[in-house]
Amino acid sequence: MGDWEQGKEIPSIRQLAVTLRVSVITVKRAYMELERDGIIVTQQGKGSMVAPDPNLGARLYDQELAKHIDRVAQLGELLGLTPKEVASRVREATDRLTKDRLTKEYS
């Protein structure tokens, strides 16, 4: 994902702040969040690099999915749908996606 490959060294906090013209503290904050999520690793005195983790992409997508599912549940409740109705709406969407793919492949 993104432009930086696994294991690649990334600029120091100060360097990136100067390049982007945003404050050091903002970049520091972003690095901390990336580190917490396991996307980058920082070694004392050596700087930071992109974490060499092959499962990272899948994990990020999984987090993203969980977030959207929560949102679906909230919206369903707002509209007064039963859990069953919400589930069937999700099912409809996945069916539609499959159908779209099939029509594309055979057309």
Partner 1 sequence: MNDLSVHFEGVSKIYPHFTLDDLSLELPTGTIMGLIGANGAGKSTTIRILMGLVHQDRGLVHVLGREMPREQSAAKLDIGFVSEDMRLYGSATLAWHMEFVRSIYPQWDQAYSEMLLRRFDLKPQQKIKGLSHGQRVKAALLLALARRPRLLVLDEPTTGLDPVARQEVLGELMAVLADEDRTILFSSHNTLDVEQISDQITFIDRGRIIASDNKEMFLERWRRLRLVLSPEADLPSLPGVVEVGGSERLPVLVTNRFDPAMVSACNDAGATVQAVDPMTLEEIFVANVHSRREKQTV
Q: Which residues are at the interface with partner 1 (CB under 8 A)?
A: 14-15, 17-18, 21-26, 29
**Token duo for residue 87:** 């589930």
Nearer to partner 1, 18 or 90 (CB): 18
Helices assigned H by DSSP within 1-107: 13-20, 24-36, 56-78, 83-106
| Closest distance of CB 37 from partner 1, Å | 17
Q: CB 21 → partner 1: shortest distance, Å? A: 5
The two tokens of residue 24 are 């050091």
Nearer Cβ to partner 1 (21/36): 21
Q: How far apart (Å, rounded) are the C-alpha atoms in residues 95 and 3?
A: 33
Question: Sheet harboring 40-43: ordered strands across?
Answer: 9-10, 47-50, 40-43
Residue closer to partner 1 by CB (options 17, 39) is 17
As measured in angstroms, the least distance from the Cβ of 81 to partner 1 is 17
